[in-house]
A and B are shown apart, each in its own frame.
Chain A
Amino acid sequence: MRPVPDRDSAAWWEAVRRHELTVQVCDDCGTPRFPARAVCHRCRSFAWSWRPAAGTGRVVSWVVTHQVFAPAFAGAVPYTVVLVRLDDAEDCLMHGGFTGTPSADLPVRARFDDVGDDLTLVNWVPA
């Protein structure tokens, strides 16, 4: 199931395509944010930059999906999706695939998987 980038997020996906994990950082107050948006939720500035993220984090939670919610995943069940809190952006949480069984607060790092000629996804592996 392909992601559908919007005008705010296109640059984030392009960075992922280059195997770079980024977060948006407010140029005025320095608050990092994710998902991508054009305005800072703290100081309401529209000035921002993309900052490389360390690409490491901790597992907040995970779900093992058994139900086939869409035909594209019929061959994948059961599969695990983790929710990761970034080490260098505490309020930024990202989803991603995980192989094996995670645990609470497990240190993880981003792995870039090229799943097609023009698509890269961020998955997570033990750090």
Chain B
Amino acid sequence: MSAPGFRDRTAVAGVGYTPFSKNSGVSTLTLAARAVLAALEDAGLGPDDVDGLATHRVGDSAAPWLVASALGIREPSWYLDQFGGGSVSHSVVGQAALAVASGIARTVVCYRAINARSEFRMGGTGRAVPVSPEVQYQAPYGFFAPPQQYAMYARAHMLKYGTKEEHFGRLAVTQRANAVKNPRALMRDPITLDDYLSSRWIAEPFRLLDCCLETDGACALVVTTAERARDLRQPAVTISAAAWGGGDSFLSGGRADVTVTAAAELAPRLYAMAGVRPRDIDVAQIYDCFTYSVIVQLEDYGFCGKGEGGPFVADGHTSLDGDLPVNTHGGFLSEGYVHGINHIAEAVSQLRGQAGDRQVPGAEVALSTAQPGYILPATSALILRADR
């Protein structure tokens, strides 16, 4: 399904961050307020310009109406308080773009604010088991945390396609090399494949360095019309496509192959909406809750054949100087984990040409993806374009 009426009509006009840490020392409301104000400042706007706020959360963060109230945004005309984790992260921006494109809202700030290390540990250690019907069949066996879920699919991929632990390791090493060039990244010391292979087991086949960083922090994006974004402070980055959905997971009883994600169903729709093909993507921020989630998405978004994601990474295609630089900020593995939105923010920085030492020269089209749909049977993704 193409959507020329949607394509490039809206834009990301501002990006804001709080610092990333293991202990922010402040509430998620405070984090959200800081990131929202930073994104507005970046755009050259203020709170009085905002008429919409959007977030997603899993019972762990400040609601949009609370953030609006805290910032004295008196008359917001549009809210989105989406339940869900990483898989819906990009649909939040997509829905904000729909609200703007329709005229219901003019300036929407999307944010995600989490204390994912100091309060609600995203990796699952020490927190309550999620409330979901499927969990009853797994939790009694001590199986409920995201690293365990993904490790199960990672091993299935290894068994079926010969994907190796060295492939996971190469991906971790490559992303760390990018983080070395990112002043915002939490982990800036280079690592080697030996460092990877000697890191401790979390849930075999995953080691510590397969797992993203549980992070305290927030990030926000200002979404407005493309026309208006062109008059604001920063170079405009338009939203060429926003797709979400993706069908079922094996837990919904429809998919028998656990090495395929919902991204395989969503990707054709996404590319058609933007009018591009995988080879047109100059830079990709691919959801890396774990090393394996990147490898399977490289396949499911069509950058290599099914089962070839591991060798694709090991051959250097996804390095900063490769033909498809991936997770140029270091990703959730090395920059920090704000549940998806910091991938979109990095894509915007790349398309503005503001990514400093890690800039991909001439980047014009970027893909940014959400958790690819195992834990929830859905995913979401964006294609963004430099407006020049």
B143 at the A interface (CB under 8 A): yes
Shortest beta-carbon distance from B120 to chain A in Å: 14
Residues in chain B near residue A61, CB distance under 8 A: 152-153, 155-156, 159, 258
Q: Are B155 and A67 in contact (CB under 8 A)?
A: no
A114 at the B interface (CB under 8 A): no
Which of A9, A37, A65, A70 interacts with B136 by CB under 8 Å? A9
Given contacts A91-B255, A119-B140, 19 further A-B contacts (CB under 8 A): A3-B140, A5-B136, A9-B136, A41-B254, A64-B201, A65-B142, A65-B204, A67-B203, A68-B125, A69-B124, A70-B142, A71-B126, A76-B142, A79-B142, A81-B148, A91-B254, A92-B253, A93-B258, A95-B143
Of A68, A70, A92, the most chain B CB neighbours within 10 A belong to A70
10 contacts between A and B (CB under 8 A): A33-B253, A35-B253, A37-B253, A63-B155, A63-B205, A64-B203, A65-B142, A69-B126, A69-B148, A83-B156
Q: Are B253 and A91 in contact (CB under 8 A)?
A: yes
Residues in chain B near residue A6, CB distance under 8 A: 133, 136
Mark interface residues in B146-168 (1 if CB within 8 Å of A CB, else 0).
Answer: 01100111011001000000000
* A90 to B255 alpha-carbon distance, docked (Å): 10
For B133, give the chain A residue with the smallest CB separation: A6
Mark interface residues in B244-258 (1 if CB within 8 Å of A CB, else 0).
Answer: 000010111111101
Q: Are A9 and B133 in contact (CB under 8 A)?
A: yes
A62 at the B interface (CB under 8 A): yes
Q: Are A69 and B144 in contact (CB under 8 A)?
A: yes
**A1-B139, A96-B141 in contact; A62/B152 too (CB < 8 A)?**
yes
* A104 to B145 alpha-carbon distance, docked (Å): 23
Of B140, B200, B202, B205, the most chain A CB neighbours within 10 A belong to B140
For A115, give the chain B residue with the smallest CB separation: B140
* A8 to B126 alpha-carbon distance, docked (Å): 28
Interface residues of A in 62-90 (CB under 8 A from B): 62-73, 76, 78-79, 81, 83, 85, 90
Q: Are A97 and B248 in contact (CB under 8 A)?
A: no
Residues of B in contact, count (CB < 8 Å): 41
| Top 4 A-B residue pairs of the complex, sorted by shortest distance between their CB atoms | A61-B156, A64-B204, A66-B201, A3-B136
| A interface residues (Cβ-Cβ under 8 A, vs B) | 1-6, 8-9, 33-35, 37, 41, 60-73, 76, 78-79, 81, 83, 85, 90-97, 104, 119, 121, 123
Residues in chain A near residue B201, CB distance under 8 A: 64, 66-67, 78
* A73 to B141 alpha-carbon distance, docked (Å): 9
**A64-B203, A67-B147 in contact; A81/B156 too (CB < 8 A)?**
no
Of B123, B141, B204, B251, the most chain A CB neighbours within 10 A belong to B141
Which of A1, A60, A65 interacts with B258 by CB under 8 Å? A60
Shortest beta-carbon distance from A72 to chain B in Å: 7
Q: Are A97 and B141 in contact (CB under 8 A)?
A: yes
Mark interface residues in B198-221 (1 if CB within 8 Å of A CB, else 0).
Answer: 001111110000000000000000
* A73 to B129 alpha-carbon distance, docked (Å): 13
Which of B142, B200, B204, B255 interacts with A72 by CB under 8 Å? B142
Interface residues of B in 101-152 (CB under 8 A from A): 123-126, 129, 133-145, 147-148, 151-152
Residues in chain A near residue B125, CB distance under 8 A: 67-69
Q: Are A41 and B142 in contact (CB under 8 A)?
A: no
Shortest beta-carbon distance from A124 to chain B in Å: 10
* A92 to B253 alpha-carbon distance, docked (Å): 7
* A92 to B64 alpha-carbon distance, docked (Å): 40
For A98, give the chain B residue with the smallest CB separation: B141
* A92 to B45 alpha-carbon distance, docked (Å): 53
* A2 to B126 alpha-carbon distance, docked (Å): 16
Residues in chain B near residue A34, CB distance under 8 A: 253
Shortest beta-carbon distance from B5 to chain A in Å: 32
For B208, give the chain A residue with the smallest CB separation: A67
Residues in chain B near residue A60, CB distance under 8 A: 156, 258
Residues in chain A near residue B124, CB distance under 8 A: 69
Which of A78, A104, A121 interacts with B141 by CB under 8 Å? A121
Residues in chain A near residue B159, CB distance under 8 A: 61, 104
Residues in chain B near residue A9, CB distance under 8 A: 133, 136
Shortest beta-carbon distance from B9 to chain A in Å: 36
Which of A3, A68, A104 interacts with B139 by CB under 8 Å? A3
Q: Are B143 and A65 in contact (CB under 8 A)?
A: yes
* A27 to B139 alpha-carbon distance, docked (Å): 30
Q: Are A83 and B152 in contact (CB under 8 A)?
A: yes
* A96 to B139 alpha-carbon distance, docked (Å): 10
Shortest beta-carbon distance from B175 to chain A in Å: 21
* A90 to B258 alpha-carbon distance, docked (Å): 12
Residues in chain A near residue B133, CB distance under 8 A: 6, 8-9, 35
Q: Are A35 and B134 in contact (CB under 8 A)?
A: yes
Residues in chain A near residue B256, CB distance under 8 A: 85, 90-91
